[in-house]
Every structure is written in C-alpha cells, then in structure tokens.
A and B are shown apart, each in its own frame.
Chain A
Amino acid sequence: MKEAYLGIDIGSISTKGVIIDKDNQILASEYIWTEGDPMGAAGKLISALEKQFDKETYQIVATGTTGSARKLVGAMVGATIVKNEITAHAVGTTTLYPEVRTILEIGGQDSKIILVEHGIAVDYAMNTLCAAGTGAFLSSQARRLGVEVEDFGRIALTSKHPTQLAARCTVFAESDLVHKIQMGHTKEDIIAGLCRSVVSNYINNVGKGKKILSPVVFQGGVSKNIGVVEAFRKALGCDIIVDENGHLMGALGIAILAGKANARRTFDFSVEDMAFRTREINCGRCPNNCEIICIYRDDMLIDSWGNRCDKGALKAGIRTGVRTMAKN
C-alpha cells in the first residue's frame, strides 16, 4: 500500500478536496458548493472523492482541513492537522510555483496578499472590512449594469477608454458609477473602469506599500475575471499567472502539510454515513457566558470549543442528556 494524504478546504461558499500521493501528485480532486451546510458538503465531497480514489493501491494516512469551517469538519473527519487557509494557500501555491514572489487573492468576501521569498511566505495582509475590491462588489455592480458577472472580463477587454471611477470605497464607487452612467459613458468603458478600480483598491488597501514582485500568482474567484487580470497586468507591469486549479490550492496545501506533519491516522471513508450534529450551549459559570459549540457523532460528544477558560471545557465522550440523568 502506498501512502496518500487528504486535504479538505471548507469555505463559506465552496468546499474543495484533494487526495495526493507522496510526490504531491493529485490522485483525486473535487469542488462543490457548501450551501450553508459545511458538514453535509464535506460528506458529499468525501463520497465524490472516494469514487475517484484507487483504494487497492493507496491508503490515506493523514488528513488536513482548512477554510472557515476547518475545526468543525476537522472534528468530523478526524483530521490530523487543522490549519488556517492563508498558510494552506501559501504552501499549496509555493509547491506548484516554487519561484513565486507574490500571491494575490480576491475572493467573494475578502482579499489577501502573501509575499514569498525563496519559496516561503514571509508576510501577508488581508482585508475583511472593506468590500470595494471583492467579488461581492463586482456581482452587485454587474446586476446594476444588467450584465452577467461571468461576462465582465470579456466585455472589459473591448473597452478603449476605461472610465475613471472613485476606487476608495464601495459607497463612493457606487455613486460615482451611477453618475458616470448618467453622463453617458459606455457600458464596456464603465466595466473596464470597475475592473481597474478593483485593482487600485486592492493595491491601496491590501497591498499598502508592499513591494509586489514578479512572478505574481493571482487566485480566488475574481481571478477568473480576465478584465481584472488584465488590469493587474497593466498596473503592476508584469505577467499575472492564473492557475486553472487555483481554487484547489488551499486543499492541496493542507494535504501537503498533513503529509509533512508527524501525526498519522488512517482515514475511514465511512464517515460519510455517520450522523453528525452540533449544538450551542451557554457556559454561564461567569458573566462572560461563553457560547460553546458542541459537536456530536451519533449522540457522542467528539469535540467542543468557544470556552474562554478551562471551567467551560467539556469532556469528549459524554452523551447528550446522559450527564443530567446520571445525577439523579
């Protein structure tokens, strides 16, 4: 049996998974929508991966989870490593592109920049407060212009004179956009202008004076927009690499980290058939009244978190309801 490693990246919008071998070659990969149900999505993802996976030759000996629901799904699948998405992305990308110096990422809700030296991430910044440069902003503006956001890039490239738009923040950008429409700017110029404003917003708010060196890899949902890619190319004066598997970088990175770490636990595909449940309880032992998230597998508590101190720690293994009954 050869060793294999599973990586799962559960984001708020999509859930991604890969299984790799010792040489980081992808043996199976899958991409599905999370649809607000991370555990359900993880279950579906695992059964899809199982179909592609050669169980005769390989055995999964380590599992990693990343993304916003990493803890939850990590507890569910018995992960050997649970890590944030920034580290996972950096590791995934630098493994595929050892020369990369800058990783740009613009997703649906947030944007990040990771600076790399000698294949190692050395600095990063992210922006979660301002929506002006993100996918959500582009989608809402596309709606306003009556254009499918998927067509944005193609339309933008036809523009000869991109409209100047106030890029500082969503509110200004939006009112400026309305103004420019009324002034009679063409749709393609405005769309090209929007792509440019996403880029200048990113460079100002996320990049903040950081040196963006090439090679540059661009990831996240917005990287599929060729208008924005083109605007980055112009603004930075260098080639922009967009990998068609860019969305798998997080899953790949966490699978690589799982393989590298020492922890080993054979992954059991039967988790997709088990029943998992979460419950929120309030500790109430002090005025902080922490909300503790409990996760149960077949009514057995397997993990919990959210307590600010040890007094609120719950022991894995107790069953729902059993504790109060035992007291009587």
Chain B
Amino acid sequence: MKEKGNTAAVTARTPVIGLPRALLYEREAVMWKAFFSSLGMRGIISAPTNREMLRLGAEAAIDEVCLSTKIYLGHVRSLFGKCDLILVPRVSNYGLHRNMCTKFESLYDLVCNVFRNTGQRFLAYNVDVLGGISEEKAFVDLGMALGFGRKDAVRAFRRAGRAAAEDWHKKISREERLYRTDQIKVLVAGHSYLTEDAYIGRPLFQYLEEMGVVPIRADRVDRKEALRQSVRVSPTIKWEMSRELLGSIQMHKSKVDGLILMSAFPCGPDSMVNEMIIRKFPDIPILNIVMDNQDGTAGLETRLESFTDILKLKRGEL
C-alpha cells in the first residue's frame, strides 16, 4: 500500500513454515513440501527425535497422552524461534470407516492450548470428508489463507498430489522387493510415525538387521488394496491407518516368517486392533511390542532376540 510520494520501502518476507518431524510427517512430507514449494514458500523441518526432544515433549504434555503425541509436542517446541508458522493439521476422517484417531482431530487445538503463552503462531488445514471438506478443499483453503489465489492453490495441490503418488509408488516397490529375499523376514506393523522415528522405531529396525533379519514395513503397501483386504478380516474397524496395517498383514502373512506389532503407550486404537490381530492370525509368530518413554533398550533387545531366535530355530538356522 504505497502512497504517492512515499519513499520508504518495506520487505514483505514470505513466512517460513515449520514442519514437525512427527505424527503425519512421514506420511505427508512429500505432499507438504511440494505444496509449499510450488507456492514459493520456504520450510524448515525439525531434527530427528532424540532423547532431549522427547523429554521436552513429555514435559509439555499431560501424562495420559500417547508417546507419539509427546514426541510431536517435543518437535513442535524444538521449532520455536526457527520459523513463523508451524503446520499442525487437523484430520478427522477420509470417509466412512476411514477415521483418524481422535489425537489427529484434536491436535491443532491441543497444540494451541499447550503452547498458548509462547507467542508462537500455528497453521492448520482441516480434512473432514464426512463433514464436506475433502483433501483438495483443505489444501486449497490453506493456500488461500496464506494469501494465494484459488488458481495457484489448486495448481499447487495437484502438483503436490502427483509428487506424493510418485514417491509412494517408489517406496512400495522398494518394499515389495524385500518380500522376495531368502533371508528371514519380519513384517513390522506400526504407525509410520513410530516405525520411522529415529529414537523409537529405527533402533528396532537396526537391531533386527544386525541379527540377520529383514524387517519389512507393513504400512508401505498399496493402500487401496489394503483397505479392501482389511474388510475380510474385520468389516467394522473404523480407523484408516489400522485398516491399512490390517489389510497389509492379510496380504503378506504367508510371505514372511513372523510379525511384529509395534505400538505406542497408551494407544486406544492399537490396544484394540492389535489384540484382535493376535487372535485372528494364530498361524504366524507374533511379537507385540508396546513402546513407552522409558530409557533403556535391554528389555526390547531380549524380546527381539528371543523372537528372532524362534524364527531361526524354526528354519533350523540356530
């Protein structure tokens, strides 16, 4: 708004968006990055989880929330002072029987409330297909809220969608190859924010690899097919991500030597779904691991070692 004759200059800096490397990050990162960069915005990503971040997150949270939410809060906090806006999506559902856990629905409000006196600003988009907000509308609204025109926002969304689909395709085919090795294979079924977490899930994968076992991620799967297959095991489960994992187990159970269920403590959906999985798949060795924020991996190593020993004994390799 330059008035005639005014000689001053103002640089309008485009805001830097902070992306917490937790919860939906692993699932949506490609989409988010492509969307923001095609709008010409810059972003910054929090560092991989470490013990200090987890401590900060646990400090900010009430005791009762799940480990994944605590980790998320730690990531949010680590971005303070490094960006203008922190993206905290609010996702309710992708359709009927395609709900997200309530944590995802409440996340934005939870974060705003926990950090209400910090002066940090947050940015949300809302997905609620049953309530009439599709993913496309969510992103287009987000773009417009950031001051871009509808056309630009739509274009950015489409471009981001293509990038995400392409990336996902690559990831699945990489995972598909793993099913064909002759080594002992273990399907690891857990939410991607747990399995990919540098502090929680990655050490488990590393450990399995050191033991000569190939871990395969159940969540990296053709999602449409997984949703279809999941109905054969349970028609009523209502959580999208649980369905994907369940369907993936149904699709791959005969291609692996064992199954590891990995969940966070205390997780509502998983405590029900994993209990059901243990009873519905009696023919495959299952290890149920519940992660909490206790230090020390000794107990975990004992359980992983004995589990892989059993898989090796079965093949006569121990």
Contacts and interface: CB of A to CB of B under 8 A. Distances in A.
A308 B279 contact: no
Given A287-B51, A288-B51, A84 B306 contact: yes
B81 interface: no
Given A128-B299, A208-B279, A210-B282, A122 B310 contact: yes
Nearest to B303: A126
Interface string B290-317: 1000011011001101110110011010
Contacts of B278: 208-209
B50 A287 contact: yes
Contacts of B303: 84, 126
A128 B314 CA distance: 25
Contacts of B285: 122-124
B310 A209 contact: no
A209 B277 CA distance: 11
A121 B311 CA distance: 9
A87 B298 CA distance: 16
Q: Taking each of A120, A123, A129, A286, which has the highest tally of chain B beta carbons within 10 Å of its own beta carbon?
A: A123
A214 B280 CA distance: 22
Interface in A117-142: 120-126, 128-129
A288 B47 CA distance: 13
Interface in A171-218: 208-211
B22 to A, nearest CB: 16
A13 B270 CA distance: 33
A311 to B, nearest CB: 13
Contacts of B275: 208
A122 B53 CA distance: 39
Interface string B280-292: 0010011010100
Interface string A51-84: 0000000000000000010000000000000011
A320 interface: no
A162 to B, nearest CB: 27
Contact of A87 (B279, B305, B314): B305
Contacts of A306: 296
Contacts of B53: 287
A121 B52 contact: no
Contact of B309 (A68, A84, A287, A288): A84
A291 B295 contact: yes
B305 A83 contact: yes
A240 interface: no
Interface in B254-286: 275, 278-279, 282, 285-286
Interface in A260-291: 286-289, 291
B203 interface: yes
A293 B318 CA distance: 29
A86 B287 CA distance: 13
Contacts of A120: 313-314, 316
Contact of A84 (B51, B52, B305): B305
A124 B53 CA distance: 35
A193 B288 CA distance: 30
B70 to A, nearest CB: 16
A121 B310 contact: yes
Secondary structure dominating the interface of A: loop
Contact of B302 (A84, A122, A125, A211): A84
Given A122-B310, A122-B314, A123-B310, A209 B51 contact: no
Contact of A288 (B50, B286, B288, B306): B50
B94 interface: no
B52 A211 contact: no
Nearest to A209: B279
A83 B295 contact: no
B199 interface: yes
Contact of B310 (A87, A210, A287): A87
Interface in A78-97: 83-87, 90
Contacts of A289: 51-52
Contact of A124 (B50, B51, B199, B310): B310
Contacts of B298: 68
A286 B50 CA distance: 9
A210 B199 CA distance: 33
A288 B307 CA distance: 27
Nearest to A211: B282
A262 to B, nearest CB: 13
Nearest to B275: A208
A90 B199 CA distance: 32
Interface in A286-305: 286-289, 291
Nearest to B318: A87
Given A209-B278, A288-B51, A124 B314 contact: no
Nearest to A306: B296
B292 to A, nearest CB: 10
B69 to A, nearest CB: 20
Interface string B162-192: 0000000000000000000000000000000
Interface of B: 50-53, 199, 203, 275, 278-279, 282, 285-286, 288, 290, 295-296, 298-299, 302-303, 305-307, 309-310, 313-314, 316, 318
24 contacts: A83-B305, A83-B309, A84-B302, A84-B309, A86-B302, A87-B305, A87-B309, A90-B313, A120-B313, A120-B316, A121-B314, A124-B285, A208-B278, A209-B279, A211-B282, A286-B50, A287-B50, A287-B51, A287-B52, A288-B50, A288-B51, A288-B52, A289-B51, A291-B295
Given A120-B314, A123-B286, 20 more contacts: A68-B298, A83-B305, A84-B302, A84-B306, A85-B302, A86-B302, A86-B306, A86-B309, A87-B310, A87-B313, A121-B314, A122-B285, A124-B285, A128-B299, A209-B278, A209-B282, A288-B199, A289-B51, A289-B52, A306-B296
Closest 3 CB pairs of A and B: A287-B52, A86-B306, A87-B309
